[in-house]
Amino acid sequence: MDNQQEMKQVSVMEILKEHNLVVPEIQREYVWGRNDYGILDTFLTDIKHSFNNKLKENPELKALEKLLMKSSIEERLILESLAEKLNGQTSEAVLNLGFLYSYKPGYYISDEGKDAYLIDGQQRFTTLFLILFYLAVKENKIETFKKLFRVKEDENKIAFNYRVRMLTHNFILDMLSNVKSVADLIEIKSKSWFLANYKHDTTVSAIVGTDKIDGALFLIHQHLNDQDHGLFEFAQQNIKFWHFKTEETSQGEELYITMNSRGQQLADNESVRAVLFKSESAKKDPMKWSELWEEWQDFFWKNASTVKNNSGLSADLGFNEFLRWVQIFKMIEIKQSTGDDENEDAADKKDILKVIRWGKWEKLDTAYLELEQIELYFNALKYLYTDFKKELHILDSHYKEYKNFNLLSHEWLHPKESVNNIGQIDSFRLLPVLYYCKMQIENKNKLSIINVFRVIRFFFNISRDPNINKSPGNQLINAIKALEKTGEEEDIAIRFKRDEISSTLLNKEERIKLKLFSEAEDRYSLENFFWRGEDLRVNSGQIKHLLDLSFAHSSPNNFEIEIFADFLKTFEEFIKNEKFIWGNLLPTDVYLEKADRIFALSSWYKTKDFMELVSLRTQKKNQTLIDFFQLKKKEFIKQYTSAEMLFNEKSYKKQLYLYYILHTELIARDQNWNWDHGWAFGVWSNYPHCKSIFNTPSVFQHYSQAFRENENKIVKVHRKIPKGEKLIEDLMIWSET
């Protein structure tokens, strides 16, 4: 087929040369004027952005537009001709608004072009019609506008026709006949020609506004009132659509055609649509699916406006990404499992992983897409990003300690064009939740915000597991398979109490927590403190060290959340005062000695000695933190039964700790020990102007990444040891006070 004839990118001027556009009776009312989710704000902002970019690229055009504002009638004709030529020279400024789908009615009109009934795109085209009329009034181009739309007031005719809805049709013609200024537009409801019945028309209300909504005309004025002259010309020539005449195209799957001279292609979702609308269900009820498809596109368009630094108008990126998710779900469902959950090279996973990893130029496969399934997944997604967020107060009432409920990013609805998808870890966090919600909707179960959040929280938390991060795509497949196998159960804790679930997906700690959740009398208390502990910076989702400590201090076969909560509060106290307590960790198993290096373990907060400190501190919580660690220092020194024994200490860790005590309690009496210079230490046998109090002299230097000589990082107590002082004896005496 000749694609260039079947599918054309057209401006308003170009499409109206060939067609009278008609909004049929079965189409939904115009609603964009309600500005739900700021969709009209987004539309207008992007038009301004595109126009202003064009002016920046073409300073001659901007200069002409300024002259036009001051010109006489004769001068205006010449300047407008020049501006029109310059307008056509900047093809890069084309702003494409997507598709207009139309069909040919069962009659033929030969006088001024064929009628084309819109089945999709009327929201965008109606909005553009109103924008053009506003700009025509503002720029004194009403006659140009009427010529463009072939307005014949005496015959009640116009090339954009709501004539099957007579009240709407009459309002539009009345507006075109009576409005002469911007003030007339803004005050339209107070005009004598504005009939009382117009207020009851849904489309008219969306255009002129009501007590509850501003309406399209007000918002258009708000956005475009201060724009430079010339936007009318830009809007009628440079804002374009792909016009798809469905009655003329029988090969929808061949719609991958060139959109412009730079070789861009049709958006995947439009090509997919052309194929899916050939299905039996679409043929049975084309208007239902057309309206749903437009609703889906609108959703991603609206939500794109919430993303920071997003100046793009198109919903394509978000919608395409959503369809990729639907394809992934279907591929996982129909592929036969090999039983090897961890093997990424397994035959059942290669094709799925390719779609999960998704290169920039990959294309959707319609073999895995069905309109009915897309509808189910969309309803699930809409719940997560609209209804769920409206119910967050319910979560707030149940969780007194935990408040981090915003775990679903809006940016996932509109990925960056440079990467074309949301990435594997983000997919792992979102897609299992989406699949869970879809299953509940499909099974006619009412979605519970508590249970949904528990699923969100579960996948958010395990996404921080290093083992998940090694193979997020593989674990995403395992997660969907696990949800698919576990049936209709709403509670994630009960669903995942199965031995056959991947051990990477559900490690020992997660199994313990889910078991505790499913058996708890007061589950909210467990979740409050478990989730709070998981979100501590050092824990990064893992709290087994705190669970083990709590089990050790609870009665047999019983987990006591009060004990866990007490240990957690002490743990938080230590982390909050990390620099203050850190010196007291020097002699513990937090630090390792290796040749001339002393360094802390990366998992220091899980070590036996550190957790014992947590336990001891919890038992002595009536003491201040200063008193608690001062007693620990004294207990450490008392291990030395004589000054000679302390003098002969050979352990670098213990020497360092003694220097730390000396600095903080006797010499400087300063708790700041220059941890900014590094948490690790290197050892010199001697160093200029530095002293040691031990038999085997050693001088310690802080370092961060690598041990290299740096005199500024020498532990400062070495330079403050006074001559002739018996500091060891002083330490021994201090420990007894």
Check residue 67 and give its pLDDT: 52
pLDDT digits (tens, 9 = 90+) for 192-215: 999 999 998 989 999 999 988 999
pLDDT band at residue 176 using 50, 70 and 90 as cut-offs: very high
Q: Do 702 and 678 contact (CB within 8 A), yes or no?
A: yes
Check residue 670 and give its pLDDT: 80
Could you count the other beta carbons within 10 Å of the beta carbon of residue 215?
22
Mean pLDDT of 240-269: 49
pLDDT digits (tens, 9 = 90+) for 388-410: 999 999 999 999 989 999 999 99
pLDDT band at residue 83 using 50, 70 and 90 as cut-offs: low
Check residue 131 and give its pLDDT: 97
Check residue 669 and give its pLDDT: 86
pLDDT band at residue 149 using 50, 70 and 90 as cut-offs: very high
Check residue 306 and give its pLDDT: 59
Two tokens, residue 4: 């260039």
Q: Inform me whether the pLDDT recorded for 380 exceeds 90.
A: yes
Mean pLDDT of 483-499: 82
Question: Average pLDDT over the chain, rounded to whole?
Answer: 86
Check residue 6 and give its pLDDT: 56
Mean pLDDT of 423-429: 96
Distances (CA, A) of 173 to 29, 33, 144, 211, 274: 18, 19, 16, 24, 35
pLDDT band at residue 254 using 50, 70 and 90 as cut-offs: very low
Q: Enter the pTM of the model.
A: 0.72
User: By three-state DSSP, how is residue 415 classified?
Assistant: coil
Between 270-274, 411-415, 711-715, the lowest mean confidence (pLDDT) is in: 270-274
Mean pLDDT of 429-452: 96
Q: Inform me whether the pLDDT recorded for 262 exceeds 60.
A: no
Query: Can you give the three-state secondary structure of 317-376, one letter per residue?
Result: HHHHHHHHHHHHHHHHHHCCCCCCCCCCCCCCCHHHHHHHHCCCCCCCCHHHCCHHHHHH
Check residue 690 and give its pLDDT: 95
Check residue 60 and give its pLDDT: 53
pLDDT digits (tens, 9 = 90+) for 564-616: 999 999 999 999 999 999 999 999 999 999 999 999 999 999 999 999 999 99
pLDDT higher for 263 or 146? 146
Which residues are CB-neighbours of 132 under 8 A, at least 6 positions away? 12, 145, 148, 232, 235, 236
Check residue 344 and give its pLDDT: 67
Angle, helices 561-576 vs 608-619, to 10°: value is 110
**Residue 714 per-residue DSSP state:** B
Q: Inform me whether the pLDDT recorded for 439 exceeds 50.
A: yes
Q: Select from 570, 684, 553, 560 the least CA-distant residue to 620.
A: 570
Check residue 725 and give its pLDDT: 67
Q: Is 485 left (phi over 0), alpha (psi -120 to 50) or beta?
A: alpha
Mean pLDDT of 123-148: 95
Angle, helices 544-553 vs 508-519, to 10°: value is 50
The Cα 506–Cα 511 span in angstroms is 6
The Cα 330–Cα 328 span in angstroms is 6
Q: Inform me whether the pLDDT recorded for 36 exceeds 60.
A: yes
Between 21-35, 332-346, 663-677, the lowest mean confidence (pLDDT) is in: 332-346
pLDDT higher for 69 or 174? 174
The Cα 454–Cα 445 span in angstroms is 16
pLDDT band at residue 246 using 50, 70 and 90 as cut-offs: low
Check residue 312 and give its pLDDT: 46
Q: Inform me whether the pLDDT recorded for 348 exceeds 80.
A: no
Check residue 361 and give its pLDDT: 72
Q: Inform me whether the pLDDT recorded for 92 exceeds 60.
A: no
Instruction: Calculate what percentage of the chain has a pLDDT beyond 70.
Output: 85
Mean pLDDT of 520-546: 97
Between 45-59, 344-358, 461-475, 570-584, the lowest mean confidence (pLDDT) is in: 45-59
pLDDT digits (tens, 9 = 90+) for 266-325: 456 777 887 888 889 988 888 789 889 988 988 988 777 655 555 444 567 899 999 999
pLDDT higher for 138 or 37? 138
